[in-house]
Structure formats: C-alpha cells, structure tokens
Amino acid sequence: MKKAFYLFVLSFLFTLLWGGCKKSDDPGTQFISSPTLTGFSPTSGAVGTNVTVTGTNFSATTASNVVKFNGTTSTVSSATTTTLIVSVPAGAGSGKITVQVGTQIATSASDFTVTQPVSLVTLTSFSPTSGTAGTIVTITGTNFSANAFNNVVKFNGALAQLTASTPTSLTVNVPAGGSTGKITVQVGSQTVTSTEDFVYQSSSVTTLAGSGAFGFADGIGTVAQFFQPIGIAVDALGNAYVTDAENHRIRKVSVSGTVTTLAGSGTAGFADGSAAQFSSPRGIAIDASGNLYVADGVNNRIRKITPAGIVSTIAGSGVAGFADGNGVSAQFNFPKEIAVDASGNLYVADDINHRVRKITPTGTVSTLAGSTFGNTDGVGTAAQFNRPTGIAVDASGNVYVADLGNHRIRKITATGTVSTIAGSSSGFADGNGTEARFDSPAGIAVDVTGNVYVADADNQRIRKITSTGSVSTLAGTIPAGFADGNATIARFNKPTGIAIDASGKIYVADRLNHRIRTIQ
C-alpha cells in the first residue's frame, strides 16, 4: 500500500517537472482570443470605397488582419484592436465581409453590396444661347439619363419641360416666366451647372393698330378703329390684312401701322367687283402673288381680292348647306377660316358642316376630311370635327385645324389622315400632346420650322406647339382685358385670328379689344 502511494507521488512530480520544461522550451506560444465582427459602414459602395469595419480582437498590426469582401482580399489601411479601415477591392462582388486574425475568422452578419461606380454628369454646351419662353434648346454633355423623367433641367431655377433625351443630349423648352441665368441639369444625386448664362428674352406684346373702341376709321395706329377684327394674314413685306367682321370690310395695316380699307362698303350684303360687299367676313389668306382669299361667313362664299382690289366669288352658292362641286355649285355652311398652299389650293374650315374643304386652283370643291359632328381621328370622311374654326397649311401640305368645339388641335396629312396633336377637354394646361388643354381655340398659324401657334380664345392666351407636340404659353393670361407689355402680363380679349411673318413676328386679331396686336 505504501509502495503504491510513493509511486503516485513520484509520477505527479514528474508531470510537473515535464510541463515546466516544455513551457520554458517554447516561451512564445500564447492563447489567442477569437475576433468578432460587429458591423461595417457604409453598407454599400463601389470599388475603392473606404469601409470601416468594427469589432473586437483585431490585430493592431495592419498586415496581421486579412479582410475579404465575398472572398476577395482587400487592402487594410488602418488597424486597431476594434476598428479596421479597408477599401472595396477590384473584382469583389456583393456578399459577406470576413476578418481573419491568425487562424481565427469572423464573418459579418449581413452582406456588403458592391455598386457600380457613378458616372459623372457633365454639361458642355447648349444652343441657342438665348430665346423666349417656348424656345427649343439643345443641351449637350455626358451621362444624362436616356429616360427623360430622370433628368431635371432648370433655367435660372425655373423648371423646364423635356421633350427628348439621350445620354449625351437633352432637348427642352424654355419655361415661361424665366430669367437670364445658368442652366442646371440634375441626374440622380448629381447636379451640374452651365458655365455660361442662358439669356432669357421675354416676348413683348404691342398694339399695332386700333383704338380699343369699336367703330370704323382709317388712320395711323391707335387712331384707326375696327369692329371685331377676326381673321388676319401677313404678306412677305410684313403688311397685315384683316377681316373687320362687323364693319363688313377688308382692311390693310402697313408695317408702320397705317390702316386703309381694301374692299367692302361697310354694309352687310353681297356684291362682286370694285364696289364689293361682304357679310361678316371671317378668315383671310394671301398667296405668293398678293391675291387675298376671304371666307365670307354669312354669305357662305369664298371670295378673292386681286392686288388691284377687284373682288370675285370662286366658290359657294350663297345658300347655307353642304355640297361638293365646281365653283358656285358648291355649298358651305358658315365658312370660318381659309388657308392657301404653295400650289394655290385653298383649305376651308367649314364650321357648321364640321368639315375641312379643299378648293383647287380651277375651283373644284371637295371634302378633305370630316363628316358629322363628333371627335374621331381617321382618314377623310371617317374623321369627325366639332366646329373647325382655324386652319393653316405648312410647306409639306399638312393642314392644321383649330377644332374649336373639341378644344383640340388636329392635323390632316396630304392624304387626308386626321390625328390629334394637342388638347383634350376644355380647360387650360401646358404640356405634351393630349396632356395640354385649350378652351375654344379659334385661330391657328404655322411657321417655317413646323411650330404651330394658336389663338386660344376663351383662355385669352396665345399658345405655341412645337413640332414634337409640346405646348407652352407664349403670351396672355386671364381674366380677359387689355394690356401691352411683357408677355406674362399682357392681356387679350377673345384673340381669334393669328398669323406669323418670316421673321417670327406674330400678329393677333384681338377681337373684343378691337385691336391688332403683335408679339415679338
């Protein structure tokens, strides 16, 4: 028994001595605490983004920490026992972050999201560098959004309307009520600013002729008097021609504002010749030879006035009705407006017949489009109008119609296909195509670049429609009244007729103000 006890004691002492010898032989071996990874910030970023990783038991020596983003090793730029600063490595994908210290590895609870680098937006130029409200401006640069809604463009703080966008180009309309200043483009969180100012040119409305009191008087400028001027046309020299409806006369307004009477006795009636009579003449157009064409409303006829002042009837029997045919065998029902193309064809807005009629140079009258009252796009007589009132034709033979009762602007191709380019229900709104709203659009004109101008009668405004269908307000406001000056404060009272000359100057027959106005 004693012998066994002595053997146990000797064995225990040997174990202690052996352990002491091993410890002294390898003094560098120590116990290592496992690292923990408690968080990281930011939680997403592109390659190269600095990320702060927090936790415990990291090595204070940067090289002793191995940090990986979804398996791809990153560079550690700073280290403490609780914080590591690393950068997202090239080739990394979204996933967990791991930190290895020695043989111990800690893994993040959530994923780090690797994002694509943000491409810098630039704005290099814009053209034109000046313009009025509604002017189309092209902005060039890089990394714009191809989706127009993702680009926010402002002219000196005023929000502009985009009509087209690509990664390198934006097409916008200069906003109304703007001012001279920088253009900014915002794409996502990035905003870039032009180095140069866009020079905002405010349109100005002036009175060319008419005193404002209804009556009849020839004379210069505001000495002259009109009684409900409705239709207006302008020649290549800038002379304006006006249907003075309730005076039953055709008047001429020279460039300097001198008003004379070309035709009409002042008494409602019908007579051709040098002592002609009209009855509430409505629309007027002029051809390249200086011949005038008049939609003689109550007489239900289309009349012609030569440069010598001789009046003749080229179509219409004088009886209200509907009939295609040749010359005076044809019938109209209150023809409201007229336009002439480069070939001498006439186009008539035949109000109560809800049709658009065409008259060839030989006097043959046909129906280009329209049938019964309604609102339908389509081809020829399958289309419908509701009191077409204004009409214009462009150089390509497209006809534009102010469809008064439908509060829409319609387009008719040379083959008779009718479409709606702007407008919906009655009201007021600028915007694209059918987003825009009109209230009884009465007059219409088109310029050489395809912009359409509308006398929006019951909105008391002049509107512009670009070739892409974007509608803006050029001048005027409500309520009805009279004021010249800046386009945003100018006032009209039932603007009905509109024309534009080669320089872009706009002429307006301001019906109930009994004046002829210009916008420039």
Peptide bond connecting 42 to the previous residue in cis, omega within 30 degrees of 0: yes
In this predicted structure, the answer to whether residue 218 has a pLDDT above a threshold of 60 is yes
pLDDT for 177 = 64
Same fold, 36-114 and 204-519: no
d(C-alpha 441, C-alpha 446), whole Å: 14
Mean pLDDT, range 431-456, rounded to an integer: 94
pLDDT for 59 = 95
In this predicted structure, the answer to whether residue 316 has a pLDDT above a threshold of 80 is yes
Mean pLDDT, range 419-433, rounded to an integer: 95
Strand residues in 188-270 grouped as ranges (E): 190-200, 204-209, 219-220, 229-234, 240-244, 249-253, 258-263
pLDDT tens, residue by residue, 97-125:
999 999 999 999 999 999 887 789 999 99
Stretch among 140-154, 175-189, 207-221 having the lowest mean pLDDT:
175-189
DSSP strand pairing (461-465 vs 470-476): antiparallel
CB proximity list for 18: less than 8 A, separation 6 or greater = none
pLDDT for 23 = 42
pLDDT for 31 = 56
What percent of the chain is predicted at pLDDT more than 90?
81
Establish how many alpha carbons lie within 13 A of residue 89's alpha carbon, considering only the half-sphere containing its beta carbon: 16
Q: Which CATH architecture does the domain made up of 36-114 adopt?
A: Sandwich (2.60)
CA 148 to chain centre: 11
pLDDT for 160 = 87
* Amino acid letter for position 478: I
CB proximity list for 19: less than 8 A, separation 6 or greater = none
Asked if CATH classification 2.60.40.10 holds for the domain at 122-200, the reply, yes or no, is: yes
Contact call for residues 85 and 51 (beta carbons, < 8 A): yes
Three-state DSSP state, 330 = coil
CB environment 114-148: b (16+ within 10 A), e (fewer): beeeeeebebeebeeeebbbbbbbebebebbbeeb
In this predicted structure, the answer to whether residue 5 has a pLDDT above a threshold of 90 is no
* Amino acid letter for position 272: D
CB environment 219-237: b (16+ within 10 A), e (fewer): eebeebbbbbbbbbbbbee
Three-state DSSP state, 15 = helix
Residue 371, judged by CB atoms within 10 A of its CB (0-12, 13-18, 19+), counts as: middle
In this predicted structure, the answer to whether residue 68 has a pLDDT above a threshold of 70 is yes
φ, ψ of residue 269 in degrees (nearest 5): 170, -165
Eight-class DSSP state of 478: S
* Amino acid letter for position 198: F
Q: How far is CA 54 from CA 23, 107, 118, in A?
A: 35, 12, 27
Contact call for residues 377 and 385 (beta carbons, < 8 A): no
pLDDT tens, residue by residue, 333-384:
999 999 999 999 999 999 999 999 999 999 999 999 999 999 999 999 999 9
In this predicted structure, the answer to whether residue 141 has a pLDDT above a threshold of 50 is yes
d(C-alpha 167, C-alpha 148), whole Å: 10
Stretch among 9-18, 100-109, 255-264, 302-311 having the lowest mean pLDDT:
9-18
Give the domain 204-519 fold: Neuraminidase (2.120.10)
pLDDT tens, residue by residue, 72-104:
999 999 999 999 999 999 999 999 999 999 999
pLDDT for 135 = 84
* Amino acid letter for position 97: I
Answer whether 0.75 is exceeded by the pTM.
no
Contact call for residues 122 and 184 (beta carbons, < 8 A): no
Lookup result for tokens 């915002």: 186
d(C-alpha 220, C-alpha 239), whole Å: 14
Q: Which of 408, 353, 404, 406 is nearest to 381 (CA)?
A: 353
Structure tokens at 219: 């004379």
Q: What is the DSSP string of 416-429?
A: -EEEEEE--SBS-B
DSSP strand pairing (65-69 vs 97-101): antiparallel
Mean pLDDT, range 303-320, rounded to an integer: 97
CB proximity list for 369: less than 8 A, separation 6 or greater = 355, 356, 379, 380, 381, 383, 385, 412, 416, 418
In this predicted structure, the answer to whether residue 12 has a pLDDT above a threshold of 60 is no
Domain residue extents for the chain: 36-114, 122-200, 204-519
CB environment 81-109: b (16+ within 10 A), e (fewer): eeebbbbbbeebeebebbbbbeeeebebe
Stretch among 113-122, 209-218, 295-304 having the lowest mean pLDDT:
113-122
Residue 303, judged by CB atoms within 10 A of its CB (0-12, 13-18, 19+), counts as: buried
Torsion angle of C-alpha atoms 54, 59, 63, 69, degrees rounded to 10: -30
pLDDT for 19 = 46
In this predicted structure, the answer to whether residue 6 has a pLDDT above a threshold of 50 is no
Mean pLDDT, range 311-337, rounded to an integer: 98
Mean pLDDT, range 18-25, rounded to an integer: 43
Q: What is the DSSP string of 16-53?
A: HHHHHHHHHH-TT----PPPEEEEEESSEE-TT-EEEE
Stretch among 1-10, 245-254, 455-464 having the lowest mean pLDDT:
1-10
pLDDT tens, residue by residue, 385-397:
999 999 999 999 9
Contact call for residues 290 and 307 (beta carbons, < 8 A): yes
